[in-house]
Amino acid sequence: MDQMTQERLERRAAMAILLADRGDDLLVVPGLGSTTWDLAALGDDDLNFYLWGAMGGAAMIGLGLALAQPDKRVAVITGDGEMLMGMGALATIGIQRPGNLAIVVFDNGVYGETGMQPSHTQSGVDLGSVAAACGFATCLEVRDEAGLRDLAGCLNTLRETLFARVLIAAEEPPRVLPERDGIALKDRFRAAIGVKP
């Protein structure tokens, strides 16, 4: 669509702006693939729960976490393909509506990990409209750096369930691979937020 031909945000720079002032009470769950590499590229953090699989599950992990930790903020930052696979989660979250949960979709319209095949969003499926129809209190569409800074502000003062679609370019920056031992990732995350072993 016409949006695809417009200049789009660089994904690594977008992640950096969103998390520049993340503080110590923002828990981040990226989707498998590119958003996990983007998050790792910012530097490691025990409060990142990287996914190397579980496609379609990022938003629901975020929901369980947000319900369990109402005093912390949870940001799921995933790709359009990962969100499409778990689109029903938007309906599930839309009726739970925890105020401390944000679902951010980096939408480049392609499946980057598998060879840049087009995703449904490239042909007009609008995940922001889906989220709005599912009852998300706030739905943002982010097209430029100013929008990213607004979204970063929203993440830092999160009070109602938020969905944001961030239009990013279809590019493949060098992979930055984080820890891939799932047990280690789980244990360090729980230790960092003070959950007993």
The residue (of 28 and 166) whose beta carbon lies closer to another protein is: 28
- Side chain identity, residue 62: G
Interaction site with another protein (CB under 8 A): 27, 29, 49, 53-69, 86, 88-89, 91-92, 95-96, 182-183, 185-186, 189-190, 193, 195-196
Nearer to another protein, 6 or 92 (CB): 92
Shortest CB 174 distance to another protein, Å: 25
Q: Residue 177 Cβ, how far from another protein at the closest point, in Å?
A: 16
Q: Considering beta carbons, is residue 151 or 185 the nearer one to another protein?
A: 185
Query: Taking the complex as a whole, how short is the minimal distance between the CB of residue 3 and another protein, in angstroms?
Result: 28
* 43/53 with CB nearer another protein: 53
Q: What is the C-alpha separation between 156 and 102, in angstroms, rounded?
A: 10
Backbone φ, ψ for residue 75 (5° rounding): -115, 120
Q: Burial level of 192, CB count in 10 A (0-12/13-18/19+)?
A: middle
Strand 73-79's sheet: what is its strand order? 26-30, 73-79, 101-107, 162-167, 138-142
* Least distance CB 105 / another protein (angstroms): 16
- Characterise 81 by phi-psi region: left (phi > 0), alpha (psi -120 to 50), beta (else): alpha
Q: Rounded to the nearest whole angstrom, what is the least distance from the CB of residue 86 to another protein in the complex?
A: 7
Where do the H-state alpha helices sit in 32-114?
34-41, 58-68, 80-85, 88-96
Looking at beta carbons only, is 61 or 167 nearer to another protein?
61
| For another protein, the closer CB: 55 or 170 | 55
Q: How far is the CB of 183 from another protein (least distance, A)?
A: 5
> Could you tell me the sign of the dihedral formed by the alpha carbons of 32, 41, 120, 126, in that order?
positive
Q: Are strands 117-118 and 110-111 parallel, antiparallel or unpaired?
A: antiparallel
